[in-house]
């Protein structure tokens, strides 16, 4: 699969933000109700954290993801780069919107997967991977991506996944089921 195309599709369905909510839940051990997705169309605000005193710390920078990636790879050092620096006077305003969960059903399904349990997060990821590939290869319509994910989430009972081997085996199972669903035409 063409990775760039998958990233673009995941951004358009906003499932990428759903994956980030799941990551934040696991990485920072926070309740999903404490994580809010905020749409910022200028792509200058990369993250924000609100502290218990009400203040917000934001990571604001150029649209390029090169800086966050370089920082992650070189942590705790920050490298000099040739990326044009952000001019705050040219920005003039920062606008934020709430995502429409009816329009972006994949984001809503990510919250559902968190609520239902760990195995549903595996289903979300595995199904998305196969469905997006099927869309790229013109086997399904764009609108079938969230429909397929939802169908697969509803198909499974809760399952306790104890270790990485069980997770990988379940991931494989879901991918096979997703391919079968696509072949049968859902």
Q: Which of 39-53, 115-129, 152-166 is predicted with the least confidence, judged by mean pLDDT? A: 39-53
- Within-domain flag for 130: yes
Own/partner pairs, 60-67, CB within 8 angstroms, 24+ separation: 60/86, 60/94, 61/86, 62/86
- Within-domain flag for 22: yes
Same domain, residue pair 117 and 179: yes
Same domain, residue pair 106 and 77: no
pLDDT at 182 over 90: yes
- Within-domain flag for 154: yes
- Within-domain flag for 177: yes
Give the span between the Cα atoms of 68 and 46, in whole angstroms.
Answer: 9
Same domain, residue pair 113 and 179: yes
Left, alpha or beta for 37 (phi > 0: left; psi -120 to 50: alpha)? beta
pLDDT of residue 171: 98
Its pTM stands at 0.85
Residue with tokens 């697969």: 152
The DSSP letter of residue 111 is H
Domain count, the chain: 2
Q: Whole domain around residue 67: which residue ranges? A: 45-91
Give the burial class of 124: count Cβ atoms within 10 A of its Cβ; 0-12 exposed, 13-18 middle, 19 or more buried: buried
Same domain, residue pair 167 and 128: yes
Q: Which residue from 128, 129, 127, 139 is spatially nearest to 183, judged by alpha carbons?
A: 139
With bands split at pLDDT 50, 70 and 90, how would you rate the model's confidence at 2? low
Same domain, residue pair 87 and 128: no
pLDDT in tens, 91-134: 888 999 999 999 999 999 999 999 999 999 999 999 999 999 99
pLDDT at 3 over 80: no
- Within-domain flag for 96: no
- Within-domain flag for 109: yes
Q: Which two tokens stand for residue 159?
A: 């399952």
């Amino acid at each position: 699969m063409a990775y760039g195309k998958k990233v673009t599709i995941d951004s358009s369905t906003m499932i990428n933000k759903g994956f980030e909510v799941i990551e934040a839940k696991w990485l920072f051990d926070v309740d999903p109700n404490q994580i809010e997705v905020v749409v910022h169309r200028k792509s200058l605000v990369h993250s924000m954290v609100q502290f218990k005193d009400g203040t917000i710390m934001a990571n604001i920078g150029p649209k390029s993801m090169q800086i966050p990636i370089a920082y992650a790879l070189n942590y705790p050092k920050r490298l000099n780069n040739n990326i044009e620096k952000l001019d705050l006077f040219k920005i003039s305003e920062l606008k934020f919107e709430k995502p429409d969960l009816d329009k972006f059903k994949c984001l809503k399904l990510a919250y559902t997967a968190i609520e239902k349990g760990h195995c549903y997060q595996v289903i979300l990821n595995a199904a998305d991977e196969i469905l997006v590939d099927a869309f790229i290869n013109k086997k399904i319509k764009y609108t079938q991506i969230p429909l397929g994910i939802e169908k697969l989430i509803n198909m499974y009972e809760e399952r306790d996944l104890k270790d990485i081997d069980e997770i990988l085996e379940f991931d494989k199972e879901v991918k096979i089921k997703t391919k079968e669903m696509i072949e049968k035409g859902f």
